[in-house]
Amino acid sequence: MDLRDTPELAQFRRELRQWLVENVPQEPEPQDMVERFAFARAWQSKLYAGGWCGLSWPTEYGGRGFGPLEEAVASEEMARAGAPATFPSTHLGRALLEYGNEDQRRRYLPGLLNAGTIWCQGFSEPGAGSDLASLSTRATRDGDSFVLSGEKTWTSFGRFAEYSMVLARSDPTAPKHRGISAFIVPLDSPGISVQPIRIANGDEEFVQLFLDDVVVPAENLLGEMGQGWPLALSTVSYERGAVDLGYQVKFERYFTELVEQCKQSAALIDGTTDDAMGAVAVQLEVLRMHCLRRLSDRARTGSPGPASSGDKLFITWVEQDLMDVATRLVAPPGDEAHRLWFDRYLYGRAGSIYGGSSQIQRSILAERVLGLRFRP
């Protein structure tokens, strides 16, 4: 495999590098959740206006029409420049691209790519997380509309979102995986209420989303009736993938920060530090190579598929090891720098749960990638 840039890619890299020098915000990412959200949104819209966001998305829906190589170069350069992460909702855009009709794609995708409209994922319910197909939110056809009732939970960014992609049971008589459909639900619809959920680091990033006879027009059905399950599998495969959500960029930026802190504080550097930092550096390098390989797989197969469960496990390990090392090194507890790393550490623990828990990812790898079946 030749990892050197072609002349065209080298030119693309130079242009992006120059743009980043001129545009990466110099101020640190805000700590406050609401300000952090506004910061991420502003950065994504600036990236998009500069032509550096939605690189591998079709031009007719607001993308640049490039391929995976440009995405890989962009990830590398953004990490190198210490650029903030973009808003983590492109996996929902992939579902719109794959299952939406022409009108839905043209209407919703540009806003999702430039963070002009914020989307959230209304999949999990209090009684349906790992076993998502047991969900009980109902969708009943009523003339030209559907009426949705039920409760969603752990809905990230539900406080800020304008739309939710909601899975609901549209045919209670069908086998559970077949009776589910997906809907585009505007969150200002009558009958919607949200209840913030506070997480361990104090942020109210999630909400519980209550739908009480919410009427959505029939044109907001996403895909065909009963297609909610394959849509959900495809969406989470992008959510679990190593390349879509910019984790590599984020972790490399954090690691660079940690290296600088270690350099500035001689007290942090000893034999144990060297060892721990070296181990994380290797993990990040392997993650970078892994992302390149997955992007090249994607170019062949078109979608991440069940192997993205391996990506998710890998991302989780790297994040948790990095935050573990950082909280041990950047002392003393109570210090402002330590608090920042500890917040990130706490958030890193969620990696074993969101997008499907680590146990579920391992089962998917065993069953759907390795072809093993558990026989009780």
Ligand X SMILES: Cc1cc2nc3c(=O)[nH]c(=O)nc-3n(C[C@H](O)[C@H](O)[C@H](O)COP(=O)(O)OP(=O)(O)OC[C@H]3O[C@@H](n4cnc5c(N)ncnc54)[C@H](O)[C@@H]3O)c2cc1C
* Residue 239 is among the residues annotated as catalytic for this protein: yes
Q: Is 357 in the site for ligand X (CB under 6 A)?
A: yes
| Minimum CB–partner distance for residue 130 and ligand X (Å) | 3
Q: How do beta strands 119-122 and 163-169 pair?
A: parallel
For 160, 184, 374, the CA distances from 46, given in Å and listed in that order, are: 19, 26, 49
Q: Measured from the CB atom, is 72 or 209 closer to ligand X?
A: 209
Q: Is 363 in the site for ligand X (CB under 6 A)?
A: yes
For ligand X, which residue has the nearest CB?
A: 129
| Minimum CB–partner distance for residue 304 and ligand X (Å) | 17
| Minimum CB–partner distance for residue 208 and ligand X (Å) | 11
In this structure, what token pair is assigned to residue 229? 């399950």
Q: Select the residue interacting with ligand X from 61, 163, 255, 354 (CB under 6 A).
A: 354
For 24, 47, 52, 200, 311, the CA distances from 21, given in Å and listed in that order, are: 6, 13, 13, 35, 30
CB neighbours (10 Å) of residue 352? 17
CA–CA separation, 29 vs 24, rounded Å? 11
Residue matched to tokens 């749960």: 353
CA–CA separation, 162 vs 108, rounded Å? 11
Q: Is 211 helix (H, G, I), strand (E, B) or coil?
A: strand
Q: Is 345 in the site for ligand X (CB under 6 A)?
A: no
Task: Give 3-state DSSP helix, strand, coil % of the chain, rounded to 5.
Answer: 50, 15, 35
Q: How do beta strands 163-169 and 180-186 pair?
A: antiparallel
**What is the per-residue binding string for ligand X in 119-138, x denoting contact by CB under 6 A?**
-xx-xx----xx--------
Q: Is 360 in the site for ligand X (CB under 6 A)?
A: yes
Which of 70, 71, 205, 239 is flagged as catalytic? 239
For 177, 274, 328, 353, the CA distances from 134, given in Å and listed in that order, are: 8, 48, 41, 18
Counting residues that bind ligand X (by CB under 6 A) gives: 17
Q: Measured from the CB atom, is 261 or 363 closer to ligand X?
A: 363
Q: Which stretch binds ligand X (CB under 6 A): 29-37, 73-81, 179-187, 346-354?
A: 346-354
Q: Is 74 in the site for ligand X (CB under 6 A)?
A: no
| Minimum CB–partner distance for residue 209 and ligand X (Å) | 9
- Find the radius of gyration of the CA atoms of the chain: 21
**What is the per-residue binding string for ligand X in 293-332, x denoting contact by CB under 6 A?**
----------------------------------------
CB 204 within 8 A of CB 33: yes
Q: 256-295 burial, b for 16+ CB within 10 Å, e for fewer?
A: ebbeeebeeeeebeeeeeeebbeebeebbeebbebbbebb
| Minimum CB–partner distance for residue 311 and ligand X (Å) | 16
| Minimum CB–partner distance for residue 375 and ligand X (Å) | 15
Q: Measured from the CB atom, is 93 or 356 closer to ligand X?
A: 356
> Within 155-214, which residues bind ligand X (CB under 6 A)?
155-156
| Minimum CB–partner distance for residue 198 and ligand X (Å) | 13
Q: Which stretch binds ligand X (CB under 6 A): 98-106, 152-160, 306-314, 330-338?
A: 152-160
Point out which residues bind ligand X (CB under 6 A).
Answer: 120-121, 123-124, 129-130, 154-156, 350, 353-354, 356-357, 359-360, 363
Residues carrying an active site annotation = 239
